[in-house]
Each structure stands twice: as C-alpha cells, then as structure tokens.
Chain A
Amino acid sequence: MIRRVFIAILVISVCVGIPILIEWSTTGNPETKNIHMELFRYGTTPSIIRANRGDELIFTFSASNTGHSFLLQDYRIEVKVSPASEKVEVRDPLQSSYENIIDTDKVHLTAGLEGWWGKLVSLSRFRCHIYCGPMHGFEQGDLIVRPNWLFSGSLGLLVAIIIIAFLRVRWSSENEPKLIPPPIDLNKKLPILDKILKWRPLQFVVTLPVLAGFVLVIIAGFFGTKVGGRNFGVMLTWSVWMALLTMILVPLGGRIWCLVCPLPALGEYLQRGATVQVRKAKKEGKYGNRFFGFGFRWPRKLSGTWLRLLFFLGMGTLSASMAGQPKWTATALFSLFIIAIIMSLIWNLRSFCMYICPVAAFISLYSPFGRIVVRSRDTEICGNCRERACLRGNEKGWACPYELCVPNIKRNFDCGVCTECFKSCPYDNVTLGLRRGRWTERFASYGQAWQAIVLLVLGMVYPLTILSPWTVMRDMVNVIDKATWLEFGKYAAVLWTIALGVVPLLFWLATRFGMLLSANKEKKQNIRTSGIFSAVTGDVFKKTMPALLPLGLSFWATFFIATVMINLTFIIFSISDPFGHGWDLLGTAGMPWVQVWPSGIPWIQATLVLTGLTFSLKKGYQVWFNETGRKNDALKGFAPTATILILLAAGMLIYFTNF
C-alpha cells in the first residue's frame, strides 16, 4: 500500500513538475509593454493580455460608445474610461473612499501579484463596472502572467490522473467489484424524520415558501429594474437557484428539489382538488384517488426524455438573453408555470415533470449523485403486496405522481421524492435512504444517453460563450439589444447540430471502436457484421454514457461557481432591493460590488474539471468492467470514450487556466 502511495506521489510530482519546469524555463525576462485598451459594448480589444511576471505594463484607454470601466480587482485597480476623453480616472475598487481618484492618461501596472498567493496567481479577469446594457454582466477579459503555474500544473495533473488511473486498474484484482452496501434507512435511524415524511401537509408546507419566492421572482422579472444584476428575479434564478441545484442540491439530494418545486404545485392542487388532504376514489379504478381534469394518458409517442431535453436545449440556447433581461427570465418561468397548470388538467399526474420540464431534464440526469434515495425497505413485502398503494394511491396518500411503484425504483432518475408513498404504503415499507458506496444507475433509453451528451456540451458552451473573454462569442448569443438574429440563428444551428448530432456520433463511434478493441476475434466478427448503428452497439453506448455525468456536472459547476463568486454582492443587494425600486430591506442595498476571491476562481474551476474527469474515468471503467468482466478488456473498451473525455477536460482546463 505504502509503495503504491509512493508511486502515485512520484507520478504526480513528475507529471506536474516537468511542465512547471518547462513553463518556468521558457518564460522570458521582464520588459516594458505598451497596451492600448479599447472598451466597448460588450468587451475590450485586446481581450486577453499576456505578460511575463515583472513586466511593466503601460496602459492607455479609449471607449468607443458609452462610458466603461476596466476593473482588475486582483490588482486593486479600476479605470474609468469616458468616450472622447484621453484622460482616465483611476481608483482602488476595494476602497469605499473616492478621494484618491487619480486623473491620468496612462496607467502603469507591474504584471504579477505580491505574496505567496500572488505568485501563484497567473490569471486575473478584468470586467466592466459600469452598466452599459443587458450583456454588461458578462463582459470580461484576462490578464495572463507567465509563468502560469496553474495552466502547466493542472495539465500535468491531468496526465498524472490518467497514469494513476491506469496503475490502479493494473493493481486491482480481477475479482467482481465489491458489493455495494444498502442505503442507510434514515426512517429507522431518525424516527422524527419518519414522522415528518408521513405528515400529510409536508409537501405543501415546504413548497409554500418556495412558491412565495417564485411569485417574487415573477414580479421582479416583470415589474422590477431591467438591470439584471439588480433584479431579484434574475439573481435568484440564475445565480442562486441554478448554482444551488448544480453544486449542492443535486449532488447531495438528487431530485430533492422536486419536493419543493413550485412549477407544478398549483396544477397539482387543481388536479387533486386538494392541497394537503387526500381524496379517495369512490369506486375501484386505475387509481385509488379521485382527480379533477380529463386525466388523459400522456401520448406514448411523446413519452421519454426527448421533449424535455429539447426544451432544455432551447432554454439553454437562449439562456444568455434570459439572464441579461429580467422580463425574459420571468416570461420563461411564468410560461412553465402556466404550461404545468394546463397540462395537469388535461393529462394525468405530473406529466409536465415527466415529459416537459426542462429543469427536470437537468436534475433527473444528475440525480444519481444524490445521496438521498427512496427505496423499498423489504422487497419481499413489496413482492407480496397486492394493493400497490404507492402506485395507485389510497385514502392515506396520492397515487405516485411519477407513475412509479416503489419496489421498481432502482435509480434516482424518475422519483421526485414527493413522499406520497411514505404515507400510502400500508406496510410501512418505504424508506428514505442515505446511499453508501458508488452510484450504479444505468440509462434505460437513448433519450437519457443523449441527455447526458447534450448537458455535457451545454456545460462547456456556457463558460465558453457567456463567460468568455472573446467578444465575438458574447455577441453571438446576444439577441437582446444587438438583435443579431442571423448570427444567433447560426450559433443555435451549430450548437444543436453539435449537441444532438456530432458529439453523440463521436461517442457512439468511440463505443463501437471500444467494443472492437475489447472483443475477441469471434465477437469482433459479430460486431462488424452487426453494422455501425446496431442495437448491440446501442446497448453498450447506453451503458457507457453515464460516465459523462461526473465531468458534465463539473463543467456546470465551473460555470456557476464563477457566477456566484462574481455576483455574490449583487445577490445580497437584490435581496435587499428586489425590484430595484430603492427599497433597502436588509440595509445592504447600497453595498459596493466586490467579487469574492476572483483570483481563486480559475483554481477552483481547474479542480472541478480534474475531479469530474477522475470520477468519469472511474465510472466508465466500472461500466466496461461490468460489461467485459476483465480488466484489460475493460481498459481497451473504455479507452476511446475515455480519450474523448480526457480531450474535452483538457480543452476546458486550458480554457479556464490560460484564456
């Protein structure tokens, strides 16, 4: 064991050390550089400034349309730039005083920060601190100082992870993977939790405050300020809620958000004709409860995950516009709310959540990470159960809104943790479990596999467009005030083609190639004769695609961690003045904008990418080991898919650390 740890440390040291050494030795000596910055809506030229540590940077500025600022918080400098004025005003953004503003025509800066942390900081992002339009919040550029330890070190670490992963496989035995222990039965461990879960008004009570927040979001979006950073609707939706989902709720709680989600709540109350009570069916039928509405079954042809995937992709394509314009955010959310109500009166149960909801597309896909699971306590009891109250409902609980029968719940994808089955089960056989060990969920359909790919692609596209140093990328997604519909149309077409066609095809071919690599001669012949798009390949493809989930979620986390750290003061601000109408509920409405540890953001992003890749490689190998039963075959089989994942991770690492 000690030997292996030693080897791992050695591998890391060598892999990280060599690129760092190369980076250090190839960095030039300090020199003086003159840089003219042109500031405009929405960006700067140049957008990326590269320098060596110790370089004397002499900046001059101009603004081409309205006033802008060049805020480089790491260097404690903010330059206010006015059009038609060669002089600029310079101040320290971390000081509230405005007495020390300097009027100058040139700004001198020494590349590289002081102190031990400062020496590690190579990438500092500059932003604009003067609202200049809907896309203002996304303006950014980079000052990149060599030697760039993070860039070289993280790429070295990426190589080390691959080598160590390979070594771990070599060191592992050929035995079957360890049995996964059953989840901890929280209902038994915590009797109070058991009581709460069986308390009838539970869902109503926990949904109520979220519904109140939702109402505020809608009001703020429609009636509040159009400045996104000052609007509670925009801040809560895109900076708080999505970040919470991505970084806390889904990774820890799976689909726990669905328990409190306000979108289907009102529709469900109308459909049930009740808020907290249960209505028992008057006569025996499909369900043990009485419902209002037509109660049609959702059309079979439209079932599955495709529709909600397309909804998610659609919203994802427009997300920059929605985040930049409060009315768009409110319109999108309100539309979903209304669709959910209408659907609940036409189709049965939570058809909206199962087939349409774009949020569920995200939550459901990444729910396997969640430690919270709903499972049956004793499968034998369920086997003998004839009532199927969890599925059908009874006088104590409503029929499962997701059409699930608890003994059949083996994965987190489908269960929305509404807790009705805890109430309806006459045998007290439903538990809220705390998952132990690795997650084992598999995709049941191509739709889910595509979902994993599309969300992986969007997880990369968000940072590349919305948080991009390149103005052209930002302009591409900006249809709010530049109204570049043609450009946006091209962007949307390319995005959809890549997400739904090109990348899935790549993974499909990688799977097939892996099958060929890992198979013996006889099998190879069978695979070859079955054709590229055969069901055999499709089956392995579906099994492999869960490997994309850790990396995909890490990409999303990189986007939202940056969003939260940049906007935290705006979040606090908008809670105090939700509509931008001059309220000050918490006394924080006038607080200045300060980013939280901006120099740490690339480090956190790099860590997230490497962590995501590690778990993706691990998951992929497990899948293939289960498929082939042999280490070597698993390695060979997964190698093509792993290569794509490694390349994607490497690309994003380079982007986060060197652009």
Chain B
Amino acid sequence: MRISKSTIISLLALTLILVGIPLAIFSYEAHRSGQTLAEYLAKTLKKIGAQDTSHLTIKSVQGETIDFLKKVTIGDPVGEAKPWITHVAIVDLDKDGLKDVILCDAKLNEVRWIRQSPAGTYTESKVGDTVRGPAHVTPSDIDKDGDIDLLVAQMSIIVPENDKIGAVVIMENIGNEKFVNHVIVDNVARVCDVEPGDFDNDGDIDLVVAQFGYDDGEIRWMENKGNWQFESHILQNLSGPIHALVEDIDKDGDLDIIALVAQEWEEIYIFENDGHANFKTNLVYGSTNEDFGSSGISLVDLDKDGDKDILFTNGDAFDYLPPGPRPWHGVQWLENKGNLKFEYHRIGNFAGAYFANGVDIDRDGDIDIAVVSAFNKWDDPKSQSMIWFENDGQMNFIRRNITSSPTHLLVLASDDMDGDGWVDFVTAGMHVYPPYDRLSRITLWKNIWPKRKTVEE
C-alpha cells in the first residue's frame, strides 16, 4: 500500500496535536514541579479520579486526658470584638531574658507585643505603624545590628480576596522599644509568610515570601541589596502558598525553602538551593484530595535521626458551606529519608487541625505533637480545640485531649515561657464564624506536668 506524502504530513500533524501538545504541557509541568513525567501523570490522574482516602489511616489511639496545662489569659482582654489573631511568635524581643509574645491582630490591623516584665506579668502594646491585615510575624535581626526586627506578612484582607494588595513589611527595631516600618514590596498577591535566610551566601539576610493570593499566588525570594532594598526572584506562581520555611533540609550546607501550597493544589515543595540561590523545584508531597485543606507546616526532627522532618496539618475548612470539619482532617509527617526523598506517615485525625508543633511535652526524650483546631464542630461543647499526640518513643502516637475552650484556635507557638525547663504553649483565637460563646484572644498554657517533680528528681 502506497502512503502519500500528504498522508504522512497530516498524520504527523495529528500526532503532534493529539500526543505532542499534551506531552509538551505535561513535561513542562512535571519539570516545573520537579517531578518525572511518570510521577506527574500518576499524580494528576489520581487527582481526576475518586477522592483519595488513604489519609484516613489512623495511627494514633485515643488515650486518657492528662491535666497538665494551666490556662492563663495574657495581653488585652477579648472585649466587644470577636478576635482575629492570625499569628503568634515567642521571642525575647527586648532581650531582657524573659520570653515575650508577638502577635498579628487582623481586627486592629496591628502587630502587637505582649511583653513579659517582670516575670509572669504580661503587658500588651502596639509595635510600629499599622499593618493592614497582618498574617504572620517572624522575629529576625535582618539588619544585623544586634536587635530583633520583625518581618511581617501583610495580607491586607484576611478573608478570601484575589486583588494584589499584599505587602512585605519589615519593622526595624531602632531601640527604646521603638520600631519603624519599611515596606519592602507591596501591591502583590496577599502575603502569608515571610522568613529570613541567607540564600546566596553573601553574608546578608534575604527573605522568602509565601503569597497566598487567592486565584493568583506566588513564592518569591527577595535578595537583600542593602539599605532596605530587595530584588524579587519568583520561584513559583501557584495560588495558595501558606508557609515557606527555611532550612538546610538536604544538609548540603546551604539554605533550602520548604513551602506548603494549599488552595486547590495541596502540595509541599522543596526549593533546593545550589548554594548560589539557584533553586530547583521538588514536589515532595501532594494530596490527591483537592479538598485536603492544608493548613500548617513546621520542621522538626520528629524521629530524632539527625535530619529535619516535615510536620503538617490539614484542617482548613473555609471552603465549605457552612465552614466545618471534614473526616480527612488531621496531622501527618514526612519522614526525611535523605536525598530529598520523604515518606508519608499519618499521625492521627483531628477535625479542623490548623497547626502542629513538635516538642517534647512530657520530657520523656521523644517528640510529641501539640495541635490546635480552627474548624471543629463548635456547636458540640465536647469538640476539642487543642489536643496532643503523645509519642511512645517508637513513633506510635496516643491522642490526648487538652481543651474544648476556647474555640477557633488558628495558631500555636511553643517555648519555655517561664524558664522552668518545661515547654509551654501560646494559642490565639480567630473567630471568623459562629458560635461566639468561647472566645479568646491570646492564651498562655503553662505546663504543670504532674510528673515533673518526679522527672526533675
């Protein structure tokens, strides 16, 4: 059978369109996300299919409640408003030897400082100028002048909004408890997180910025050019980055970036640094459930094998009508196996889980996990807003309740606030939807572990 030239050309053209276009797009997307084509296809095809329920594998068992935390309200009272505290950080801001709390108040549009002075006495005041819709604050001596400055992520509007209204603000500590705002970049997709790190190894501190946006988000790193000037380098354009953490996760001597991208992607990326701030994108986790609800990420050597693992929660439920928990909400970790390979482990379910901290709560030598919930069934008074998973040392976890009041706990920070050697917690309320019967602003949870004396002995 003779095949004409026109037939060959047309078949080539058809192949190009039916196979070439998809292949080109998939290859490009795979390359962008640091996957092989096969990995990319397997993952995206899974996403099209039925909802993945593998995350529902519960590893923890429910244990008895241990009463070891004493609740203390610190800072300004709740007052008439329903508080919207978007972030808290624990730091000795005035370097007086006592831990303070820095917080973002999205109702007041202020970054605020709850100063501990003298020990056990907390006084709240405003820091710097107004920041519209502050979402995250990170203490860092960015100008290397010996005091602690504050890196502030400005969303401008906290609730869903796609306009380019985000900004990065640095509050420069000029001494005498005074701060001056420097807007490093503005009119960008809403910013959720700013973290410091010297990515290009030039001795100054650069920034990585997670811009949630809404439909249009970004992750960028900002090269410090000195004199409060920064040059932006876009790493990714996906919507929904919540957190971008800095760590030498591959232990090659430079700082990498670990980012959680929520919205419809539900993925964790590592931007691998080659030491000169050239980043290679690696997708290390992606849920096949597009309603997974990724909510928070932190780094901790959970298995104590010498490298940092990734601890993360999924419990965001603002997408639902009404907002509320979903059965797949919970806590999990990615075990660092080296060479940027990670293994997924589910720790346990927790409705509305929003942020988890890996710390040795009971001082038994292993890392336990404290978790807060912002989207539990608040109409049920038994619904927990804070729990912890006790590690038995073999990476098996017992889930223990902590409290059901206050509700709507979006953020959690942990540190030894009173210097007694036991980790304490600070939580904050983000009361964006009813019920409003168990409100809180900032709560300090002092660790009064019943066995502590025994352990100390």
Residues of A that sit less than 8 Å from B by CB: 41, 63, 65-67, 69, 80, 82-85, 89, 98, 101, 129-133, 200-201, 204, 208, 211-212, 215-216, 219, 222-223, 225-227, 229-230, 266, 269, 274-277, 327, 481-482, 579-584, 589-590, 592
Contact A222 B48 (CB under 8 A): yes
Task: Report B's interface with A, CB cutoff 8 A.
Answer: 4, 6-7, 10-11, 13-14, 17-18, 21-22, 25, 29, 32, 44, 48, 82, 84, 107, 132, 156-165, 187, 214-218, 236-239, 264, 290, 318-319, 321-323, 431-434, 436
Would B160 and A277 count as touching, CB distance under 8 A? no
**Bound: A41/B321 CA distance, A:** 8
> Which residue of B has the minimal Cβ distance to A87?
B107
Q: B159–A223 contact, CB under 8 A?
A: no
Residues of chain A within 8 A (CB-CB) of B17 are 208, 211-212, 215
Q: Is the CB–CB distance between B4 and A277 below 8 Å?
A: yes
User: B214 touching A275 by the CB < 8 A rule?
Assistant: no
Q: Which 5 A-B pairs have the closest CB atoms?
A: A582-B237, A67-B159, A275-B10, A82-B159, A67-B160
Pair B321/A131 contact, Cβ less than 8 Å: no
- Inter-subunit contact B21/A83 (CB<8 Å): no
Q: In the bound complex, how far is the Cα of B432 from the Cα of A63, in angstroms?
A: 10
Are B215 and A592 in touch, CB under 8 angstroms?
no
The binding surface of chain B is classed by DSSP as loop
**Pairs across A and B, CB under 8 Å, 24 listed:** A41-B321, A67-B160, A80-B161, A82-B159, A98-B156, A130-B159, A130-B162, A131-B162, A132-B160, A201-B10, A211-B14, A212-B17, A215-B18, A215-B21, A219-B22, A223-B44, A223-B48, A225-B264, A266-B18, A274-B7, A277-B4, A580-B239, A581-B32, A582-B216
Kindly provide the distance from the CB of A291 to the nearest chain B CB, expressed in whole angstroms. Answer: 16
Residues of B with C-beta under 8 A to A66: 159-160, 318-319, 323
Q: Which residues of A contact B187 (CB under 8 A)?
A: 98
CB-based contact A82/B215 at 8 Å: no
Which A residue sits closest to B13, measured CB to CB?
A208
Chain A nearest CB from B196 CB (Å) reads 25
Closest residue on chain B to residue A223 by CB atoms: B44
- Count of A-B contacts with CB under 8 A? 132
Name the CB-closest residue of A to B48. A222
Decide: A133 and B319 in contact? CB cutoff 8 A: yes
Would you call B215 and A580 a contact (CB within 8 A)? yes
Using CB atoms, name the residue of chain B closest to A584. B237
Q: How far is the CA of A85 from the CA of B18 in the complex (A)?
A: 51
Closest to B18 in A: A215
CA distance A219 to B23 in the complex (A): 11
Known: A67-B160, A481-B321, A582-B236. A85 touches B218 (CB 8 A): no
Within the assembled complex, what's the spacing in Å between the Cα atoms of A216 and B132? 40
> Do B48 and A226 touch across chains, with their CB atoms under 8 A apart?
no
Given A276-B10, A582-B236, A212 and B264 contact (CB-CB distance below 8 Å)? no
- Asked, given contacts A212-B17, A580-B215, whether A85 binds B107 with beta carbons under 8 Å apart, the answer is yes
Assess the B21–A581 pair: CB atoms within 8 A. Answer: no
- Chain B residues in 8 Å Cβ range of A579: 25, 29
Q: In the complex where A130-B161, A216-B21 touch, is A84 in contact with B237 (Cβ < 8 A)? A: no
Alpha-carbon separation in the docked complex, A275 to B5 (Å) = 12
A589 to B218, CA, bound (A): 13
Q: Which residues of B contact A200 (CB under 8 A)?
A: 6
Shortest CB-to-CB span from A480 to chain B, Å, is 11
- Residue among A131, A201, A269, A581 making CB contact with B214, cutoff 8 Å: A131
Q: Which residues of B contact A129 (CB under 8 A)?
A: 162
Closest to B161 in A: A130
A327 and B48: CB pair below 8 A? yes
- The 8 Å CB contact of A215, one of B22, B165, B434, is B22
Chain B residues in 8 Å Cβ range of A592: 163
Among A84, A131, A215, A277, point to the contact of B431 (Cβ < 8 A).
A84
Task: Tell me the minimal C-beta distance from B52 to chain A in angstroms.
Answer: 16
Query: Do the beta carbons of A65 and B4 come within 8 Å of each other?
Result: no
Cβ contacts under 8 Å, B290 to chain A: 226
Distance in angstroms from B377 CB to nearest chain A CB is 16
Docked CA distance A616–B50 (Å): 48
Additional A-B contacts beyond A80-B159, A82-B159, A266-B18 (6; CB < 8 A): A101-B156, A101-B165, A223-B44, A481-B321, A581-B29, A582-B217
**Which chain B positions have C-beta within 8 A of A80?**
157, 159, 161
Chain A residues, CB < 8 A from B162: 129-131
CA distance A69 to B25 in the complex (A): 35
